[in-house]
Amino acid sequence: MFIQIEQDITMDHILPWLILKNVSGVGNHLFKRLIDRFQSPETILKQSAKELESTGIPKRVAQAICTTRPTEEMKNEIHRAKQFNINIVCMHDENYPPLLRQIHDPPPILYVYGQLINTDSCVAVVGSRNSTTYGESFTRSLSRELAENQLTIVSGMARGIDTAAHKGAVDANGRTIAVMGCGLETVYPAENKKLFHSIAKNNGAIISEFPMRAMPEAYHFPQRNRIISGMSMGTIVVEAGSKSGSLITARLALEQDRQVFAVPGQVNSQMTDGTHRLIKQGAKLIENAQDVLEDLGPFLNYHLHHPTKKIHEKELPPMNPFEKKIWDQLTSDPQYIDALMQNLDTTINDLSVELLQMELKGLVVQHPGKRFSRGFNS
């Protein structure tokens, strides 16, 4: 049995999320689109097939949503999570990683062993499973220094570089998050069992989007990589061969508009073919933690001084007609002010004034680059 972590594991609100997640044809992207439109799984499950079809989803999927009911397996899933002291965090919960919520296909729910805290200051550190002694030593030192500077280290718990990254954060008594490619009933790889529990005891977390009993299938790992990059401000690749899975994480980070860093190595080593290729393609070459901190400094300062205000739908303040039009245009994905201006057929000055007022009310969150998203569960 896993150690007891102080957290809310009542999870009575999770069942509707599991019901919708288990509907055939509802993937992560469609799930997010439905949530943006209807705000909650409870509301979605109450819609008629005709109303659901009006959002552009196929008739077959709309009918499946209307006819899917809770099963004993879903209820048992929640029960098993409680047995193992695992919390299930949904996309609307305050401790769901804010940057992960912004990607186009965020996992609707996360299984969490430990504590998801300060997840707006994460950096991913990834690399080869077949790492060198130098690569592991550098990674452990780099992660330790980043953790000492209040960054949360995110990696995938794999052998080699990933393991060194987690250990470096633990060395500093800092936070680290391991994203698993299997359910949390399985510690994978098995030799990391002690590290698994050390992370949870040290205010970190082990997380997964896969059901409790899911095994570490090969196709799970590319899927989990989007979570590693998606919840992080930037991704650091330490050692990677030409076919390394960490290159997938780097590509996903670029697609998610996040920074990519690469650590150079010996020019004649196959272990650094991938990292050198990343540098040639524009990844920032780093030699120490300071290089990372300097590059991410503006982003860190932004989040330090602009905490996201959470409000619930029933607590929404009154909106004038123009504010309501803006609200209807916004989603949890940040949008550029120019796009909003065109969609609303207004001027930049009028829109800026209203957005500022909405931000003061907590209705809007402003992101770097004059981008805006909803403040409600944004």
CB 281 within 8 A of CB 273: no
Q: Answer yes or no: is 291 within a domain.
A: yes
**pLDDT score for 240:** 85
Q: Answer yes or no: is 259 within a domain.
A: yes
pLDDT of 6 > 80? The answer is: no
CB 13 within 8 A of CB 19: no
Final residue before a domain boundary, out of 278, 304, 330: 304
pLDDT of 141 > 90? The answer is: yes
Domain identity same for 182 and 224: yes
Identify the residue whose tokens are 């000492």: 148
**pLDDT score for 314:** 45
Give the tens place of pLDDT for each residue, 236-249. Answer: 999 887 777 888 99
Domain identity same for 357 and 338: yes
CB 142 within 8 A of CB 125: yes
The average confidence (pLDDT) of the chain is 87
What phi and psi, each to the nearest 5 degrees, are found at residue 83? Answer: -60, -35
Give the tens place of pLDDT for each residue, 26-71. Answer: 899 999 989 888 888 999 998 999 888 888 888 999 999 988 888 9
Paired strand residues for 366:
372
Domain identity same for 300 and 319: no
Total tally of structural domains belonging to the chain: 2
Instruction: Please state the rounded mean pLDDT for residues 332-359.
Output: 85
Which of 180-189, 327-336, 353-362 has the highest average model confidence (pLDDT)? 180-189
**pLDDT score for 378:** 39
Q: Answer yes or no: is 344 within a domain.
A: yes
CB 250 within 8 A of CB 275: no
What does pTM read for this prediction?
A: 0.77
Domain identity same for 317 and 300: no
The CATH number of residue 358's host domain is 1.10.10.10
Domain identity same for 283 and 170: yes
Domain identity same for 214 and 274: yes
Give the tens place of pLDDT for each residue, 97-111. Answer: 999 998 989 999 999
pLDDT of 353 > 90? The answer is: no
**pLDDT score for 31:** 92
What phi and psi, each to the nearest 5 degrees, are found at residue 236? Answer: -105, 125
pLDDT of 95 > 50? The answer is: yes
Q: Answer yes or no: is 72 within a domain.
A: no
Domain identity same for 287 and 362: no
Cβ contacts of 74 within 8 Å, gap of 6 or more: 15, 18, 19, 22
User: What is the DSSP track for 87-134?
Assistant: EEEETTSTTS-TTGGGSSS--SEEEEEE---STTSEEEEE--SS--HH
Paired strand residues for 176:
153
Final residue before a domain boundary, out of 284, 304, 324: 304
15, with CB counted inside 10 A (0-12, 13-18, 19+), is middle
Q: How many CB atoms lie within 10 A of CB 277?
A: 15
pLDDT of 78 > 90? The answer is: yes
Q: Answer yes or no: is 280 within a domain.
A: yes
**pLDDT score for 39:** 85
Domain identity same for 244 and 289: yes
**Structural domain of residue 162, as residue ranges?**
114-304
Domain identity same for 245 and 128: yes
Give the tens place of pLDDT for each residue, 251-295. Answer: 999 888 899 999 987 777 777 788 888 888 888 999 999 999 988
Give the tens place of pLDDT for each residue, 299-335. Answer: 665 554 444 444 444 467 788 989 999 998 888 777 8
Q: Answer yes or no: is 128 within a domain.
A: yes
Domain identity same for 165 and 242: yes
Domain identity same for 349 and 367: yes
pLDDT > 70: what percent of the chain? 91
345, with CB counted inside 10 A (0-12, 13-18, 19+), is exposed
Give the tens place of pLDDT for each residue, 8-29. Answer: 555 678 999 999 999 988 899 9
The three-state secondary structure class of 34 is helix
Final residue before a domain boundary, out of 274, 304, 334: 304
pLDDT of 377 > 50? The answer is: no
The CATH number of residue 186's host domain is 3.40.50.450
Instruction: Please state the rounded mean pLDDT for residues 115-127.
Output: 91
**pLDDT score for 318:** 83
**pLDDT score for 13:** 84
Report d(CA 174, CA 339) in Å as an integer. Answer: 40
Report d(CA 115, CA 96) in Å as an integer. Answer: 11
Q: Answer yes or no: is 289 within a domain.
A: yes
Domain identity same for 351 and 278: no
Q: Answer yes or no: is 109 within a domain.
A: no
> What is the CA 355 to chain-centroid distance, rounded?
26
**pLDDT score for 365:** 83
